[in-house]
Chains A and B, each alone.
Chain A
Amino acid sequence: MASAGCMPAILLCRRPEASFSAALRERFRVLDFLASGEPLPTFLAAAAAAPEPPRAAVVTGGCSVRVDAWFLDAAPSIRCVVSTGAGVDHIDLAECARRGVAVGNSGDVYSTDVADYAVGLLLDVLRQLSAAGRYVRRGSWPVQGDYPLGSKLGGKRVGIIGLGNIGSRVAKRLEAFGCVIQYNSRKPKDSVPYKYFPNVHDLAVESDMLIVACALNKETRHIVNKNVLEALGKSGVIVNIGRGSNIDEEELVLALKEGKIAGAGLDVFEHEPKVPAELFSMDNVVLSRHIAVFTKESRSDLHAHTIGNLEAFFSGQPLLSPVQADSVVQ
């Protein structure tokens, strides 16, 4: 650990919790954008003009800072950007690569929690757990009414879009429920026993449920579109723990309204925090506010991992979880 006098400076562009903030300050001189209260250009200009300008930045998706050409021009001392999430759609990877700026993300820290949550969403939609809870809590149970049938999970075909760290963990869990696993990703993975589909439409035709577990980039924007939803069909269920824009949200809402698919579990949306209000009255939909990663355990793992990435950079080592410009990060 460096002593106070020669701790390297870092830009912090996200709101940290107290424990993370303290851990960072033990090791680095932290230039905190949100705490500064200044507009970003002013803040970056001041950082750049300092005697020892920061060489690394900690950012997060969903925060107002995009790491693009403008940002890198305004902070030319930055040689490493570490994101505290898995997604890096807020970082211009090509631009960083052109300038030789290393990019790191949260690696595998969140993968298990997201996979667990995806299975939880799927079970909830199929077996109407949240709906049952609402039914009981409003006192509907003693009243005899229609008993809406849930749907068995075992034997069903699960189509996973993106078989990376998260998708492969979802696969392993659902196999134990007796599901048949198949997938689409950019390239087939020879090491897995699951059936590969070169395009998502064909995957949807042959699947009873789709799990969206891929990164968001040019190729995957609206990868689930109207055709894919129709192919999934009226007893099909979709779960999204990727990015909202992986699915054409307007078409999804329409498909749900018209009964073209049977249900959806959604942790992410195209325009967070806005959620289409039509979904609020649907019992075949389970919603959450982008929390698939939020457990106590992965939060503390994330802090350790982020510090690990920074320390690797400052000691001239490769990042723990580097992101390549042409990779699809999951």
Chain B
Amino acid sequence: MRPPPPPSDERPLVLLAQPLFPDFAAALASRFRFALAADADAADAAEGRVLLVGLKPVTDEHLAGLPALELVAGISVGVDHVDLAACRRRGLSVTNAGAAFAVDSADYAVGLLIAVLRQVAAADAYVRGGRWPADGDYPLTTKVSGKRVGIVGLGNIGSRVARRLAAFGCAVSYHSRSPKPSSPYTFVPTLLDLAVGSDVLVLSCALTDETKHMANREVMEALGKDGVLINVGRGGLVDEPELVSCLRDGALGGAGLDVYANEPAVPPELFGMDNVVLSDHRAVITPESMRGVLEVITANLDAFFSGRPLVSPVQL
């Protein structure tokens, strides 16, 4: 139970779609007064102008009972779990984590890529299993440097992935909704063409109606039996049953996955595959990213309450 607020509580009210992570609550409680939207008293529900959302879905119903609502503030980069159409209809602004997670996500994507191509985890399991003295030659893997990499979504994360892989001598191309003239990398107008011309495909774009299942069987077959798919975006970008099937059939060479269609469920058929690196959506779980997103959230809330432009608005 929170102690009663001081007599004149100057802290602006922020409604919560779900309880905050304890670290976040501790960091923000001195600046803002929080109330869980579902339990809010009549006054708070009527006055609340900001809804801070977590990772659980946010529907029109959540928004409906809050007549003063103007801003939906997210703690993640992806906002595919928020009914953006409803926000648009209601004239709401939406903010996300901006670039707070970009560096760690990009680093992680490269880590996954090297891990798949060089089978780092499989090598580690081999040694831990005591197999080194006994078994014979270890199979050859494939060189990372110089691979042709196709990046899907050249935003905050994708552009950083590109920069890192360029230092490995990789040839970087990308596909996105529109070309970025200032980018030194080659724009490819369709995802299929990108897959045809790439050894590795890195998914680093938002999940929307257009991008859902963009990595389908055709794309994976175009990537091919030596091709590798890396996903640090959202599980929904990939047709997951087809992914499993392509890997099982050898139509796709390998995959590095931090995200899945129905987290935390991971298709168990993938567990036995040495050419698949599995991770539990932890690309951004570092103290630095956590501090970074807190800064972005605070900055967005400060800007909103003082009438200044939002720091990381999402285009609706």
Contact = CB atoms under 8 A, between A and B. Distances in A.
Given A123-B110, A288-B123, A137 B271 contact: yes
Interface stretch (B42-50, B137-145, B206-214): B137-145
A75 B169 CA distance: 43
Contact of A149 (B112, B132, B283, B287): B287
B114 A123 contact: yes
B31 interface: no
B143 A129 contact: no
B314 interface: no
A152 B288 contact: yes
Interface string A277-304: 0001000001111010011111100000
B261 interface: no
A289 B126 contact: yes
B277 A133 contact: yes
Contact of B286 (A113, A151, A177): A151
Contacts of A298: 143
A120 to B, nearest CB: 4
A307 to B, nearest CB: 19
B249 interface: no
B7 interface: no
Contacts of A291: 123, 138, 141
Interface stretch (B75-83, B84-92, B101-109): B101-109
A152 B120 CA distance: 19
Contacts of A147: 282, 285
Given A136-B266, A153-B107, A289 B138 contact: yes
A127 interface: yes
Contact of A299 (B107, B140, B278): B140
B143 A113 contact: yes
B128 interface: yes
B164 A120 contact: no
A229 to B, nearest CB: 21
B111 interface: yes
Contact of B107 (A154, A273, A274): A154
Contacts of B169: 112
A274 B277 CA distance: 26
B163 interface: yes
B124 interface: yes
Contacts of A273: 132-133
A244 to B, nearest CB: 13
Chain A: interface size category: 35 or more
Interface centre among B107, B112, B133 (most CB of A within 10 A): B107
Contacts of A150: 104, 282, 285-286
Contact of B144 (A116, A172, A177, A272): A116
Nearest to A286: B124
A255 to B, nearest CB: 19
Interface string A248-273: 00000000000000000000000011
Contacts of B316: none
A51 interface: no
Interface string B246-284: 000000000000000001111000010000011110110
A296 B286 contact: no
A136 B279 CA distance: 7
Interface in A109-139: 112-113, 115-117, 119-121, 123-124, 127-130, 132-137
B28 interface: no
A318 interface: no
B168 A173 contact: yes
B128 A280 contact: yes
Nearest to B282: A132
B265 A142 contact: yes
Nearest to A300: B140
Given A120-B114, A129-B115, A150-B282, A288 B144 contact: no
Given A123-B111, A124-B120, A299-B140, A275 B145 contact: no
Contacts of B287: 149, 151-152
A95 interface: no
A132 B278 contact: yes
A164 B286 CA distance: 32
A152 B142 contact: no
A178 interface: yes
Contacts of A132: 278-280, 282
A175 interface: yes
Given A124-B115, A142-B265, A295-B118, 11 more contacts: A113-B143, A117-B114, A127-B286, A129-B111, A130-B124, A133-B279, A135-B280, A150-B286, A287-B123, A289-B126, A291-B123
Closest 5 CB pairs between A and B? Answer: A176-B167, A123-B111, A120-B114, A288-B123, A152-B288
17 contacts: A116-B118, A120-B120, A127-B107, A129-B121, A130-B120, A130-B124, A132-B282, A133-B278, A136-B280, A142-B264, A142-B265, A147-B282, A152-B103, A286-B120, A287-B128, A296-B140, A296-B143
Interface of A: 112-113, 115-117, 119-121, 123-124, 127-130, 132-137, 141-142, 147, 149-154, 172-173, 175-178, 272-275, 280, 286-289, 291, 294-299
Interface of B: 103-104, 107-108, 110-112, 114-115, 118, 120-121, 123-128, 130, 132-133, 138, 140-146, 163-164, 166-169, 263-266, 271, 277-280, 282-283, 285-290
